[in-house]
Amino acid sequence: MNKKDAVKIVETLKEMYPDAKCSLDFSTPFQMLVSVVLSAQCTDERVNKTTPSIFSKYSTPQDFADMDIELLEELIHPCGFYKTKAKNLKRTAQILVEKYDGIVPNNMEDLMSLPGVGRKSANVIMLEAFDLPQGIAVDTHCKRIANRLGFSSESDPAKIEQDLLKVIPKEYYKDVNHIFIWHGRNVCTSQKPKCDSCKLQQYCKFYKSNKQL
């Protein structure tokens, strides 16, 4: 994939999804962090149904740090893997209170040091909470589209991100995080992708290889 085609792909997707944005609901950086942690192996829709009742009572790192772990597990139970997520959220809240004066740090290194926050999550937090995109969050949609279009032949998210960053200019990082997800949900689905109606056919390795079959 060359930079010229990469930009054309991004511009085409921007035209297709002009309203593309983050689908997680949040009001503060800490709420964004909590929502991102809960979204692991869980739909954004489920997270958005779960968090309002939590944030109405517990919305700060101090609230989470002071909360009984069993109560936290009960509150986030609908999002799955609740024991691990509760443990990570409580410990993260404690670290934020003890080390960062209750403020979510706005840099990748510090974010990735928090329990339950990997590179993908840190990328999302930097973009959504601080409007400071540092890279491209490689979720299942981004991974699938990057592989199908020919941005990357890697399977490891970190390597896929590096391949994307080589050809996508930094000014597009914010857009890519959103439009890849929307395209993955609406057209380039995991099962039965709508290739015949996709506007990216001319660039797509997946389409071209299947067309020849």
Active site residues: 120, 139
| Distance separating alpha carbons of residues 205 and 149, to the nearest angstrom | 5
Selection from 188, 95, 197, 115 nearest residue 149 by Cα: 188
Helices (H), 101-172: 108-112, 119-128, 140-149, 157-167
Selection from 119, 131, 121, 196 nearest residue 161 by Cα: 119
User: Phi then psi for 179, rounded to 5 degrees?
Assistant: -70, -30
**SS3 for 159?**
helix
| Distance separating alpha carbons of residues 149 and 152, to the nearest angstrom | 8
